[in-house]
Amino acid sequence: DSGVTQTPKHLITATGQRVTLRCSPRSGDLSVYWYQQSLDQGLQFLIQYYNGEERAKGNILERFSAQQFPDLHSELNLSSLELGDSALYFCASSVERDRGNTEAFFGQGTRLTVV
Amino acid sequence: EDKVVQSPLSLVVHEGDTVTLNCSYEVTNFRSLLWYKQEKKAPTFLFMLTSSGIEKKSGRLSSILDKKELFSILNITATQTGDSAIYLCAVGGSNYKLTFGKGTLLTVNP
């Protein structure tokens, strides 16, 4: 168990809908990353938050947004869902020390299926 | 844009064999290279490398980084069926993001 908790584990929803994925980082970790993993694309970096503020942005669609709350949990919001958004969404957290040796630990992921 | 390339994409071996997995990278402001093992779901952390030439070892697994040639290798000796997994290489670069390669699928047959 990495100490990173993601909910829900599975989500099935229809096209056009909106969903929220939740992540609780390991105790003491200030940094949260979101990744999307599909069969053909591997792990794609979406976005990173550090202590409540957005720090880095990857290939995140405009239909997607995220935030990190004062208690450091994070949510990833996916809207106007399309079939192609079906994937495994991972959250990872790290405690960033020494200017960023980013040893990140992953949650178990949320499997999103859009039908 | 940061880039990580892993090879081979897939590898099938017999128990007891030794394997070497490769990871090459291009990254702005390199800070660290990490190896992960992914079985059914979440990638689990194996190693983090920041300095060239220093081998990290854990049991039958070992890894080394060459920052001049921009690559790393992960060695697994005396492979077991439980080593079957996808092995992911990631590089930490500018802005603290981790960029992952597509992984090497290792299958160890009894």
Q: Say yes or no to pLDDT of B97 above 80.
A: no
User: Band of the pLDDT at A97, cuts 50, 70, 90?
Assistant: low
Q: Which residues contact A35 (CB under 8 A, 6 or more apart)?
A: A43, A44, A45, A46, A89, A90, A91, A92, B100
Instruction: Report chain B residues whose CB lies below 8 A from the CB of A88.
Output: 41
Instruction: Report chain A residues whose CB lies below 8 A from the CB of B98.
Output: 33, 45, 92, 102, 104
pLDDT in tens, B18-64: 999 999 999 888 888 999 999 988 999 999 998 888 899 999 999 99
- Do B98 and B52 contact (CB within 8 A), yes or no? no
Q: Say yes or no to pLDDT of A102 above 70.
A: no
Checking DSSP bridges between strand B61-66 and strand B56-58, what pairing results, if any? antiparallel
How far is residue B3 from each of residues A3, A27, A63, A90, measured CA to CA in Å?
29, 31, 25, 20
pLDDT in tens, A22-35: 999 999 899 999 99
Please tell me which residue, B40 or A99, carries the higher pLDDT value. Answer: B40
* A51 has a chain B CB within 8 A of its CB: no
- Do B54 and B47 contact (CB within 8 A), yes or no? no
